[in-house]
Amino acid sequence: MGQRFNGHGLVVGGAAVLLLAGVALGIGSCTTARSASPKASTAKMAVDTYAGVETCRECHAKSFASIGETKMGRILIGHPGIQGEESKGCETCHGPSKQHVTTGGKIVGGLITFTKSSSTSIADRNQVCLTCHTKGARVFWEGSSHEASDVACTNCHTVMKDVSRRDQLAKGTVIDTCNTCHLREVAKQLRNTHMPLREGKMTCTSCHNPHGTVTPALLKENSLNDTCYTCHTEKRGPFLWEHPPVLESCSNCHDPHGSNHEKMLKLAKPRLCQQCHNEQRIHPSTPYGRGNETLTGASTKFVMGRSCSNCHPTIHGSNHPSGAGFIR
């Protein structure tokens, strides 16, 4: 009962079912073995590849002494209650170091290093930092001008020693750190008129976000004018009479990093004004030159201090009913 014969007189049915069940059990056991084996080997690899903080301390005692004074060192090494990836101490940033230890330091063994001559790519080095520093000012790091120029986080910051008072900078101050690359802009701070960076009233990061923005020149605000308006609010307006070059950009007349002329002007007056106002028939546009006395009634040689703003002081804009010429 429950059996049937095929054409060759062989019994099929129950035996076939038993055979299929055996094959299924075999496949299931193989699948379980395949899925369990990598986990076991990964756990074993994790134990074998990480050497531990104390092992690093045996050879790198000097580095431990310096990093212990930094904020990062106190978090990664000196904090007893830290958990997760940060609990690996040095290996949180440098990666597993077991091979490096077993060879007596002769083989780097895949360690992530951060020196200028490092074989680790800048992208891989930065990714270590961005694993934790993902929010705030670093949201637009990818695609920024610094990221596109292969600037490493360790070009501006240092973790191993305490150099600056804030932000783990590689130099003592922000302006000294920026001076590593932006020599021309920092040199302008030595000119006659400049932003008060040397006096410590502001820094480069008051206007720029070095970690990336969606605006040109890594400006923190939406435009250059909006950046200037954060301090110079009286120039914002709106005005009844507006000066077009002022609306376009403050940098049409001013150099925001410093100048040898008053108020950080790019040129001395009246030459600055004459870049645009150079062909006016009824106006003395050439002070101390031959004036058009017939039309103006006065010689231009009496323009005091060669300054157009003697008569046009509200040059950024005017709300006076007769202020079309930005006059007093």
pLDDT digits (tens, 9 = 90+) for 119-147: 889 999 999 999 888 888 888 999 999 99
CA dist., res. 46 & res. 206, Å (int): 44
CA dist., res. 166 & res. 168, Å (int): 6
pLDDT digits (tens, 9 = 90+) for 11-52: 334 444 333 344 344 444 444 443 444 444 344 444 458 888
CA dist., res. 32 & res. 180, Å (int): 57
Q: From residue 187, give the alpha-carbon distance in Å to each of 184, 194, 197, 257, 258.
A: 5, 10, 12, 9, 9
CA angle 115, 121, 125 (to 5 degrees): 65
Per the CB < 8 A criterion, the answer to whether 138 and 212 are in contact is yes
pLDDT at 289 over 80: no
pLDDT at 141: 92
Instruction: Enumerate the β-bridge partners of residue 4.
Output: 12
pLDDT at 40: 40
pLDDT digits (tens, 9 = 90+) for 53-80: 888 888 888 888 888 888 888 888 766 6
The model's pTM: 0.74
The count of C-alpha atoms lying within 13 angstroms of the C-alpha of 4, restricted to the half-sphere facing its C-beta, is 3
pLDDT at 44: 41
pLDDT digits (tens, 9 = 90+) for 194-252: 999 989 899 999 999 999 999 999 999 999 999 999 999 999 989 999 999 999 999 99
